[in-house]
Structure 1
Amino acid sequence: MKIFVKSLVLILLANISLAQTPIEVSGILKDSTGLTVISAAIKLYSRQDTLSAVSDVDGKFTIRNVKNKNFTLNITALGFKPFAKAYNYSSSNTNTIHLGSITLSSDVRLLSQVTVDGTPDVVVKEDTLQFRADQYKLKDNALAEDLLKKLPGVEVDRDGNVTTQGKQVTRVRVNGKDFFGGDVKTATQNLPADVLQNVQIIDDYGDQANITGVKDGEPEKILNFTIRPDRNKGYLTRGTVGVGDKERYQASVFAAKFNNNQQISVLANLNNTNANIFNLTQQGGGRRGGRSGGGNFNSSSGLTDVKSFGLNYRDQWSEKVTAYGSYSIFGRNNAVESTTLQENLATANNNFTTVDNNKEVNSKTENINHRFDFNIEYKIDTLNYLKFTPRVTFSTTDKTENSNFNILRNDVLSSEGNYVDITDSRTPNLGADFLFNHRFAGTTRNLSLSAYLNTSSSNSGQDYLNKSLEYNDPISAATSLYQRQLIDNDNSTNNININTSYIEPLSKTKSLEFNYEYGFNKIDNNRTVMNTDVETDAPIYDPNLSNNYNFSFTTNRFGLNYRAREEKYNYTLGLGLQPSVLKGESITRNTSTRTTALNIYPSARFQYKFSRSKEFNINYNGRSNLPSYNQLQPVTDNSNPQFPVVGNPNLGAEFNNSVNIRYNNSNITTGNTFFTNFNFNLTKDKIVSTTNTPSAGSATNAIQERGYTNANGYYSLNGFYAYNRQLKDKKYVFGLRGMANYNNNISFINNEKNIGRNLVLSQRLQIQIQPKEWLEIVPSINYTYNTNDNTISKNANRQVHTWATAFDSKIYFTKTFLWGTQADKSFNRGYGSIGANPFIINTYLEKQFFKGNTGALRLTAFDLLDESTAISRTVDPAYILDSRSNRLSRYFMLTFSMRINKFAGNSSMGGENRERYRGGDRGPGGYGGGPGF
C-alpha cells in the first residue's frame, strides 16, 4: 500500500511539473510574394494569459512562457490585413510549438489611405538596394548629392563622382527613366533632396533583362531616384549667380516642371570655376591608386571654362505610349600644366635597365559636344511591348600640347628636346536600339528580340613637330633630330548586334531559356602620313607609314539556360558556345589576315534571400573583347620617334571570365548595414604590350618600340566592404570602408615575359556627427597603399603610401546664418620629385533669406593656403607613370542663390509642405527602373 501511495504521488508530481513547463510558440511571417514581414505586432490570447511579440528582420517571432496549448493569435502589420486564428495543440507532447510560415494578405485599400511609416530604411531586392530618403537628416536647400553622401556604402568625391560598393555609378534615372541621358552629375547636383522619396542603387543588365529576367554579362551600376507623390505635380527652380576675384564668375539655372507623368527640365550653366555640369564621355584609363589634392568643390585638373545647356523631356503620350529624351550642348576650354615621370621597363644584354621619360607639359583643349537621345515605349497590349531609342552625338576637339622632355637610360641622358602636337578631330555618331517583347497568353512563356545599330566616324588631323638632341654614347657629340609629320586619320565604324531570347516554362518555378546573339563590328581606317622636308618644310607622302586598313569581327553566340525561382532563392545554370572570326585587310600592302576562335563557357547565377534586407548573390559570365584599330594596324606610328608603336594584325580577340560574389545585410532594428562584394577576372588570350629595346651597342640608346601580342596569365582580384553603425537615432554614424585590388599583369620586354604584380589596398574611417540640428561634422581618414613589383627584376619594385584626412562641417549660428568648411590634408610618400602634401581649405559664410530660406547670399574662400595640386599614379604592365598637375588655386567668390518651388497647390517662394513623406517600398518606376508591362 505504501508503495502504491508513493507511486501515485510521484505520478501526480510529474504531471504537475509537466503542466508547469513553459510552452514556446514560434513562427515566421511572410507576404504573398514570399518576402518576410518585419515589425508586425503579434498577440497570443489564452485562458491563462495574454502575451505579445514583434517579428524581427527575418520575419520570425517567438513567444515564451505560454501556459496553455489552446490559444488564439492576432497579427497586425502596416499594409496587411489583420490575421486571426485559433490553435489547439493540447494533444501534442512537446512544449515547443512551431507554427511554420504564416502568410499575410496585402491591404491595398489601407496602403492607399494611410502614410506608410513602418518600412525599413534599406530594402534589398535582388539587384537593387533601396534607401528611404526621409530617414536621413538634411537641411533646407540640400541636393540629391548631399543625400547620397549619407547613404552607407556610397561615396561622393570632391568632383561629384559617385561610387557604390567599390564601383562607379555610370547612369542616373528619375522614376525609372533616363534623366538628361543618364548623366550622373546633372541629376545629383541639381535635383533637390526634399523631392525624393527613395534612392535605388541597381545592378542593371539592360532593358531586355529587365523585361525577361534573363541577366547576362557585366551589370552597369545606376542610380534611380523616385519622386515623392506629393511632389509629382508642380515646378521647381534654382538659380545662382556669382562673381569673384581673379576674374572668376559663375551663373546657372535649373528648372523642372512635374505634371504627374509629364516632366520637363531645363539646365544652363556658365562658369570658369572648373564646374563641369555635363559629363558626355566615359571615364577610363589605367588602374589608379593614391590620388590627392582635394582642390576646390569641383577640382578637375587645370583651369576650365564651361558653357552648357540641356533640355530633358518625358511625357505619357497616351495610355500605351511613353516618350522621354534629352538634348544637351557642352563647351569646355581646359588649360593644364603638368609634370610627368614615366619609368619604363627595359633590358639590355640580359640586364635589367630603366628608361625614364620626364616631361613638362602645357596643353590647351577646346571641346564642343552635342548629344541627343530619345526613347519611345509602346505597350501594344498586355502581352506585347516595343521600345525604340535613337541617339545622335557630335563632338569637335581642338588640342595644342607643348612638351619639354628628357629621356634617361640607367640615369644617363639619352635624349632631350621639345615637341608640339596640334590635333583637331570631328566625331559624328548615329545609333539606335530596338526592343520587342511578346509574352504568350496564359503562361510565363516569353519571346524577346533586341537590336543595336550604330555608325560613327572620326576625322582627325595632327601636326606633330619633334625637335631633340640624341646622345648615342656618353662621349660623342649630340645628334640633332628634326621631325615634322602631318597625319590624317579617317575612321568609320559600323556595329550591329541582334539578340533573341525564348523562355519555355517547365513548371511554375522552373523554365528553360534559349538565346542567340549575332554581333558584327567593321572598322575602315585610312591613315595618311606626310613627312615634311627639313629645308623647305614641304610635305612629302610617306608610303611606309601610311595605310588603308579594314577589319571586321563577327560572333555568333548560342546559349541554353535552366532557371529556377523558389521562395527563398533562385538560380540559373547554362552553357554557351561562341565561335568568332576576326578578319583584317591592308589595301595599301595587299595583305590579309584571318583569326578564328571557339569559346565554350558555362554561365551560372545564384541568389539567396534571407529576408527583405539580407541577400547573398553569386554570378559568373564570360565575354569576348575586340582589339582596337591601333593595336591591329600593320604599320609603324613613329610620330614620337623615341617611342614608336607597331600594330599586330595577327591579334585575336581576348576572352574574359568573371565571377562576382555579393552579400548585403541591413539590420532593420539597429539601422546598421554591411555590404561586401568580391570579383575575380581571368582573361584568356589577353592583349598585352611588348617592348623592344637595343640589346647591344650604345648604353644611352633609349628608343623603345611598342607592340602587342596575345598571352595567358592575366587575372585580377577585387574586394570591397562597407560597414555602417548608427548610434542615438543617427546622431552618430560610424562608417568603415575597405578595398583591395590585385592585378597580375603580363608584358614582354625584349621577348622576355614579365609579370607585374600590382596591389592596391585602401581603408577608410568616417564619422558623421550631428548631435544637434544646428551642427554637422564629418571627419574621415583614409590610407592607401599601392605597390608594384616585376619578375624581370626586383629593382623595378615601387611603392606609394598615402594618408588622406578630410573634415567637413556645417554650423548654423542661427536658423538663417551658416558657416561651412571643407578641409583636406594629404601625406604622400613614394612619388619622388613630383611629390606634394597639399592642405586644401575651402570655407564659406552664408546668410539665408525669405520664407523657407529660399534665398542665400554666400561668400566663399577656395584653397585658402594656395596649395591645390593633383597627384596620381598609373600602373601599366610596361611602365609606371606618376603625374602632378595644376588646379584652380586660391580665389574668393560672392554668390546669390534663389529657389522657387510650387507643388500640389502649395506655395511658392518656398512655402512647401515641411512634413516628411514616408513612402512605401516601391516608388514610381519600381525596383528595376526599366521597362515593364
Structure 2
Amino acid sequence: MKRLIQLFLLFFIISTAYSQTSIKGKILDKADNKPLTNASVILLNRDSVLRYFNRANEEGRFQIKNIKPGSYIILATYPKFELYSDTIDIKDKDIDLSDIKINSQRNVLEEVIITRRLPITLKGDTIEYDAASFATEKNAKLEDLFRRLPGFTVSGDGNITAQGKTVQKVFIDGEEFFGYDPKIAIRNVRADAVDKVQLYEKKSEEAELSGIDDGVRIQTVNVVLKEKARKGIFGSTEVLGGTKELYAGNLFAAKFNQTERIGITANHNNMGSSNSREGSLRMNNQITGQPLNTSLGANYENQFLKKALKVNANYNYNNSSNKNQSENYNKNILPDNSILERNSKNYNENSARSNGVRSNLSMRLDSTQNIELQANGNWSNNFSFSQSESFTTDAARDSVSSFKEKNESNTSSQSNNFRLNYRKRLKAGSSLNLMVGNSFNESESYSKVNSKTILYKSSDTTDINQNRRINNNGNNFSTSLNFNNRINDAMNLALGYSFNQSKNTSFQESKDSLTNKVDPLYSKNQIDNNTNQGVNVHLSYRKDKFEVNFSNRTFYKNQKLSDSDRDINLSRNFWDNNLNVDANYRISNSKNIRLAYQSSNIIPSFDQLQPLQPQTNPLFQQIGNPNLKRAVNNNISANYNAFSLLKGTNINVNGNFSFVNNPIINKTTVMENSAQISSYENLSGKSNWNGGLNINHMQPLANRRINFNKSANIRYNNSYSYTKFENDQSQGEFLLNNSKNTSFGLGSSLNEQDSEGFDFDLSVNAGLNAQQNSINTQYNATNFEGGASGYIKYFLPKKFNIMTNIYYSYTGPTKLYKKSINQFYTNLELEKKVLKDESLTVSLKAFDLFNTFNNTRRNGSDTNYSESTQQVLTQYFLVGVKWDFNKYLGKSND
C-alpha cells in the first residue's frame, strides 16, 4: 500500500507540471485607482471553456501559474463593476499585464457572464451543466461526461449518483431511450453530441398524470442534444476473447433523424453480464459460477401528424443461465447462550428466457385535449435445479439435525398491462384528468422435491418425496378522476377520486410421488380479493422563491382472503390515510433548501395475518397473527444545496429521520432440534426508528483541472424483535431484543478533468460500524471499515494508452469474527487507437492481475451471524477489438 500511495502522489505531481508559464497584473478602480480586493480573473479558451481562475489580493494583485501555451480570453470581474475582456496569447514566457482599470457599473457581473458559456447555471430547481465546458476524450460516451460533472459519480456498473442521491431516470431530449434499461443510453450516446445536462427532481409518474402530489421525488437527468446531433448514425461493436475460454460480443447501433430514433442492441457472452459491461476495467469483474447470457433489444421513437402523435416502443429478449456452488456457515446464539452452528453446501443450476414489449403512444387531440396509452407485455420460461445439504451442531459439537434436499422446477409465466390517460383543459388554469388501467399476470410451475431431515436428539426422520403444481394468477383494475384548478397565480387546488379492485388466486397442490395423495401441510387453495376507493386533496402555493405542497389521500379498503384447503376465511374493512407536506425555499440563485414530511400506514399483509401457511421444509414453519394492527410510519427529510458559479464549489447536505409507531416485528421460536417457527406481533409503547445525515462538498483544484470531492455520513438504526428458545425441559419465554446499528464514514476523491497527459480518478473512504444487541451483549462490537480505489489512464505516444484500476477494501474483526477481510485486486489494460479518427481500438486486458481477491461475505443481525463463499473466477485475461462508428452525429456536415 505504501508503494501504491507513492505512485498516486507521483502521478498527481506530474499532472500539475504541464508548464511554468504565468501571467500577473493588478485590478484597480478606474475612478480612484483603489485596488479591487477579491476581484475575479478568469481565462477561457477560444471555445469559451473556463480553464483557469484566481482572485486578486488586498492590493489588487493576482497571478495565475502553470498555464499551457495557447490563445485565451481573459475576463476581470468585480461585483457592480463593468466586465474587462481581452484576448491574450500565452507562449513560453511569463506575462505582466500591469494595471487593469475597470469602471463601476451596476448589475454587470451575472448578466455579462451569462452571455458567455458558464459551466454550471441554476434555472429554477434545475441545475444545468454546459457539456462543452467539461473536456472528454474523443469517442467518449455519456457516462464519461457524467464523471466530469461536479457532484456526479458513476460506478463501474453504470449506477449514477448526483448530489448524493441515486439517479433513477435518464432522458434524452426529455424522452426515455430504451426505457427498460436507461443504462443503455449513458453507455452509448456520444459525449460530443451533448449540449446540456440538466439535473432535477421529478415527480412520480402517478403524480404527473393525476396532478395529485404523492410526495415521491425521482432524481432525474435530462440530456439535451446539440441541434446537429439530432440527425445521424452512431454506435459501437466489440468482440472479446480470453483465457478460461471466455468470450463476449456486443453491438449497439442507432439512427437519429430529428424526431425519429431507432436503436438496436445485442450481447452474447459467458462472463455473467447481459448489459455490455464485460471487460470494463472499472468494474469488479469477478465472474460468479458458469454463466451464459444472450440479449437482444430494439427501440423506436417518432412523432407524426405535425408532432401531435408521439410513439415510443421497444422490445427486449433475454436468455441466461448459470451453474454455481457455495458454502455457508451460520451461528445462531440463543437468549440462554445456547449455540447452534450450521454448515451448509449448495449447488444451483438455473436458466431463464424472456420476451418483453413496452409501448407508449401520446396524442394531442386538439389544443385542449391529450390522450396517452401505455401497453406492456412479458412472457418467460424458467428452469431451476438445486441440491443442498446442511448439518447443525450445538455448543458441545453434538449433532442436532441434518437436512438434504433436491429441488427441480419448471415455470412459465406471462403478464400484460395497459393504462389509458385522458387530459382535458377546461378554462385557464383548470383541467380534468381521467385514468383507466388494468394489469394481469399468470404463472404455472411444476416441481419435484426430494428431501430428508434427521433430528438426532429425538431420533426422528422425515422423508419428503413430492410432485408440486403451483398456479398463480391475478387481475387488477384501477381508475381515477382528478380535477385541477388554479385558484390564482400562486395557488393551485386538485381534487380526485380513485377506485381499485384486484383478485389474486394461488393454488399449490403437493402430492406424494409414491401414493399420489395430497399433503395438506404443503398445499393451499387461496383467493385474495381487495377493493380500495378513496379521495385525494392536493393544495400547492408557489410565489417568488417559496413553494409548498400539501396532499392527503384517504382510502376505504375492503379485503377478503379464503383458503378452502386450510379452512381459512378472513375479512376486514378499514380506513387508510396518507399525508404529505413538502416545502421548498430558494434562498438565492445558487442556494436552495427543502423540507418534507410524510405519514403513512403500514397495513399487515394476509401472509402475516393468516394463522397457517404452507410449510417449505420440516425445519421452518410460518404462522400468521390474525390480531395484527396497522403500524404508522412517519418520515422527515431535509436537503440543502448551494454552489458557486465562479469558484465551481458545491455543497449538498441531506438528512432524514423516520420512526414507526406500533411496529410489526418478527417473533421467532427456535427449537432444541434447530427447527424454527416464525410469526409477527405489534410492539406497543416502542418505535422502530432510523436516521441519517449525508454531507457532500466539491471544489476544483489546479485551475479547475481536478475535482476534489469530500463526503461524510452517519446513520443510526434502532429496531426490535422477539426470540425464544424451547426444549423438552423448558418452554422458555420470549425475550425482546433491541438491535442498534450505528455507522459513520468519511470519503474523498480526486478526479482529473483534462484528458491530456493522463486521467485519474482516485478515492478513499474510512468508517466505523457499531452493532449492539440487548441479548448476547458479549458480542456487541465496533469494527473499522475502509477502502481505496484508483483509476488511472496514461495517454502515450502513437495513440497508445495504458489504464489501471486498483481496488482495496478492509473489514475489521469483531468479537465473533476474529479475522479481518481484505479484498484487493488490480486490473490492467493496454490499448491502441487505430485509424485516423481513432474509432478502432485494440486492447489487452488483465483482471485481478495478482490473483488476490477474497470473495468471503459476512452478515449479522439480531442473534444470527453468517459467513459465505461461492465459486468465483477472479483472474483472467482478454483481448478485444472495438469499433465506434459515427456518421454525421455531432459533426459539421461538409
Tell whether the structures are fold-level matches, with TM greater than 0.5.
Answer: yes
Pair 1:423-2:397 in alignment? no
Q: 1:904 to 1:373 in 2, by over 3 A?
A: closer
Partner residue, 1:378:
363
**SS at 2:822's partner residue?**
coil
Partner residue, 2:27:
none
Q: 1:589 to 1:243 in 2, by over 3 A?
A: closer
The partner residue of 1:238 within 232, 236, 241 is: 236
Deviation at 1:377, TM superposition (A): 0.8
User: Within 2, Cα distance between the matches of 1:424 and 1:766?
Assistant: 48
Partner residue, 1:90:
none
Partner residue, 1:659:
636
**SS at 1:548's partner residue?**
strand
Q: 1:745 to 1:76 in 2, by over 3 A?
A: closer
The partner residue of 1:439 within 418, 421, 425 is: 425
The partner residue of 1:741 within 715, 719, 723 is: 715
Deviation at 1:528, TM superposition (A): 1.6
Partner residue, 2:321:
333
Partner residue, 1:226:
224
Residue deviations 1:674-721 (CA, integer Å, cap 9, x gap)? 122222233345443221124xxxxx5221112234446222223322
Residue pair 2:211, 2:484 contacting (<8 A) in 1 also = no
The partner residue of 1:780 within 763, 767, 772 is: 763
**SS at 1:852's partner residue?**
coil
Pair 1:590-2:571 in alignment? no
**SS at 2:132's partner residue?**
helix
Partner residue, 1:317:
304
User: Within 1, Cα distance between the matches of 2:321 and 2:131?
Assistant: 37
Q: Name whichever of 249-258 and 828-837 sits farther off.
A: 828-837
Residue deviations 1:590-620 (CA, integer Å, cap 9, x gap)? 3311233334454211011123432111122
User: Within 2, Cα distance between the matches of 1:425 and 1:183?
Assistant: 25
Residue deviations 1:605-646 (CA, integer Å, cap 9, x gap)? 101112343211112233455655654554344333222223
Residue pair 2:448, 2:468 contacting (<8 A) in 1 also = yes
User: Within 2, Cα distance between the matches of 1:875 and 1:167?
Assistant: 26
User: Within 2, Cα distance between the matches of 1:885 and 1:150?
Assistant: 36
The partner residue of 1:205 within 203, 206, 210 is: 203
Pair 1:703-2:675 in alignment? yes
Unaligned 5+ runs, structure 1: 1-19, 25-52, 64-70, 81-110, 280-293, 695-699, 914-933
Q: Which amino acid aligns with 1:265?
A: G
Residue deviations 1:211-245 (CA, integer Å, cap 9, x gap)? 67643143334443332222111110201112112
Residue pair 2:154, 2:160 contacting (<8 A) in 1 also = yes
User: Which aligned pairs between 1:82-161 and structure 2 lie closer than 5 A?
Assistant: 117-121=116-120, 123=122, 125-126=124-125, 128-161=126-159
Q: 1:860 to 1:202 in 2, by over 3 A?
A: same
User: Which aligned pairs between 1:195-594 and structure 2 lie closer than 5 A?
Assistant: 195-210=193-208, 214-277=212-275, 297-299=284-286, 301-319=288-306, 320-344=308-332, 346-347=334-335, 351-410=336-395, 412=397, 413-441=399-427, 443-472=428-457, 480-532=461-513, 537-594=514-571
Residue pair 2:213, 2:551 contacting (<8 A) in 1 also = no
Partner residue, 1:675:
652
Q: Which amino acid aligns with 1:433?
A: R
Pair 1:859-2:844 in alignment? yes
Q: Which amino acid aligns with 2:711?
A: R
Q: 1:73 to 1:725 in 2, by over 3 A?
A: closer
Q: Which amino acid aligns with 1:588?
A: D
Partner residue, 2:86:
none
User: Within 1, Cα distance between the matches of 2:771 and 2:205?
Assistant: 40
Residue pair 1:124, 1:614 contacting (<8 A) in 2 also = no
User: Within 2, Cα distance between the matches of 1:880 and 1:220?
Assistant: 35
User: Within 2, Cα distance between the matches of 1:798 and 1:397?
Assistant: 43
Residue pair 1:464, 1:639 contacting (<8 A) in 2 also = no
Q: Name whichever of 318-327 and 337-346 sits farther off.
A: 337-346
Q: 1:867 to 1:427 in 2, by over 3 A?
A: farther
Residue pair 2:590, 2:642 contacting (<8 A) in 1 also = yes
User: Within 2, Cα distance between the matches of 1:559 and 1:360?
Assistant: 52
Residue deviations 1:652-678 (CA, integer Å, cap 9, x gap)? 565433322112222111111112222
User: Within 1, Cα distance between the matches of 2:871 and 2:744?
Assistant: 26
Residue deviations 1:782-836 (CA, integer Å, cap 9, x gap)? 2243333222331453555322211110001126100000111122224838964
Higher relative contact order (CA 8 A, sep 6+): 1
Q: Name whichever of 311-320 and 775-784 sits farther off.
A: 775-784
Identity of aligned residues (%): 22
Q: 1:378 to 1:335 in 2, by over 3 A?
A: same
TM-score by structure 1 length? 0.77
**SS at 2:400's partner residue?**
strand
Partner residue, 1:86:
none
User: Within 1, Cα distance between the matches of 2:600 and 2:625?
Assistant: 22
Q: 1:793 to 1:73 in 2, by over 3 A?
A: closer
Q: How many residues align?
A: 787
**SS at 2:228's partner residue?**
helix
Pair 1:897-2:882 in alignment? yes
Q: Name whichever of 852-861 and 710-719 sits farther off.
A: 710-719
Partner residue, 2:870:
885
Residue pair 1:409, 1:701 contacting (<8 A) in 2 also = no
Residue pair 2:262, 2:301 contacting (<8 A) in 1 also = yes
**SS at 1:181's partner residue?**
coil
Deviation at 1:881, TM superposition (A): 4.3
Q: 1:179 to 1:627 in 2, by over 3 A?
A: farther
Partner residue, 2:703:
729
Q: 1:805 to 1:387 in 2, by over 3 A?
A: same
User: Within 2, Cα distance between the matches of 1:552 and 1:54?
Assistant: 71
Q: 1:130 to 1:517 in 2, by over 3 A?
A: farther
Partner residue, 1:816:
799
Q: 1:410 to 1:518 in 2, by over 3 A?
A: farther
Partner residue, 1:926:
none
**SS at 1:541's partner residue?**
coil
Q: 1:601 to 1:250 in 2, by over 3 A?
A: closer
Residue pair 2:521, 2:614 contacting (<8 A) in 1 also = no
Q: 1:658 to 1:754 in 2, by over 3 A?
A: same
Residue pair 1:520, 1:553 contacting (<8 A) in 2 also = yes
User: Within 1, Cα distance between the matches of 2:529 and 2:430?
Assistant: 36
Q: Which amino acid aligns with 1:705?
A: I
Q: Name whichever of 181-190 and 794-803 sits farther off.
A: 794-803
User: Within 2, Cα distance between the matches of 1:906 and 1:191?
Assistant: 14
The partner residue of 1:766 within 731, 749, 753 is: 749
**SS at 1:246's partner residue?**
helix
User: Within 2, Cα distance between the matches of 1:740 and 1:461?
Assistant: 47
Q: 1:776 to 1:208 in 2, by over 3 A?
A: same
Q: 1:73 to 1:152 in 2, by over 3 A?
A: closer
Residue deviations 1:86-128 (CA, integer Å, cap 9, x gap)? xxxxxxxxxxxxxxxxxxxxxxxxx9xxxx74344253643x4
Q: 1:260 to 1:841 in 2, by over 3 A?
A: same
Residue deviations 1:567-589 (CA, integer Å, cap 9, x gap)? 11111234443333332212223
Residue pair 1:372, 1:392 contacting (<8 A) in 2 also = yes
